Amino acid sequence: MEFTAAPLEKLIEQFEKMPGIGRKTAQRMAFYVLGLPQEEGLAMAQAITDACVKIKKCTLCCNLTEQTYCPICSHPKRDRSLVCVVENAEDLMAIEKTDEFKGTYHVLHGVISPLEGVGPEDLTVKELLARIEPDNVREVIMATNSDIEGEATAMYLSRLLKPMGVKVSRLAYGLPVGSDLQYADSVTLTRAIEGRKDL
């Protein structure tokens, strides 16, 4: 578009690439940035630079952190012998928000997906296996998503872990708390019946 200044157009394009951001939102965001006092705009640029440069993977659990070990792995009260395997750092944040889990995590940074050419070697499987012995891991909880890729990844990892004498568990499936039974989908309902518990 000839009538837009080149740096503005470039900024809109950059924002537009992000997930969930369409042309209109990207445009609104770009104009917001332009409307900021210059130092605030530059602070945003700096925040992106910092995030790109400073954040790396935790040596132990591969969570995103600026230190060698992430705050969870380096926390003295977290149980290192209990490991929760998640697909990405966002899933970790979701579990961490419950404030219930006192073990540590392992972030795979993806799932096995032959269709997208992602194999176990692209994930942090090696790092997971390497922690089992030194940390005396007794149980690994598979918290991958319940889609095909997530299930396959959980299955794959459990086959590697079980021979090492590790208990492998999976998050429970069932009705979401507060949901109405009549609106539950049949797969979830089937799982809820299968996984019923004694009262």
Task: Kindly list the residues in this chain that would bind a copy of itself in the complex (CB under 8 A).
Answer: 1-8, 10-11, 13-14, 18-21, 25, 27-34, 36, 38, 41-55, 63-66, 70-72, 88-90, 92-93, 96
Cα 158 to Cα 169: distance, rounded to the nearest angstrom: 8
Return the number of the residue (70 or 166) whose C-beta is nearest a copy of itself. 70
Smallest gap from residue 27 Cβ to a copy of itself (A)? 7
Return the number of the residue (2 or 100) whose C-beta is nearest a copy of itself. 2
Smallest gap from residue 22 Cβ to a copy of itself (A)? 10
Return the number of the residue (1 or 177) whose C-beta is nearest a copy of itself. 1
Q: Outline where the chain has alpha helix (H).
A: 6-16, 23-35, 38-54, 89-98, 125-132, 148-161, 186-194
4 Cβ neighbours under 8 A, 6+ residues apart: 12
Smallest gap from residue 187 Cβ to a copy of itself (A)? 25
Cα 192 to Cα 199: distance, rounded to the nearest angstrom: 14
Smallest gap from residue 167 Cβ to a copy of itself (A)? 25
Smallest gap from residue 67 Cβ to a copy of itself (A)? 8
User: Which of 70, 72, 50 lies closest to 58, judged by CA?
Assistant: 70
Return the number of the residue (18 or 187) whose C-beta is nearest a copy of itself. 18
Write down the residue that tokens 């700096």 correspond to. 46
- Under DSSP, the state recorded for 163 is G
Return the number of the residue (27 or 166) whose C-beta is nearest a copy of itself. 27
Calculate the CA dihedral of residues 45, 48, 54, 58 and round it to 10 degrees: 170
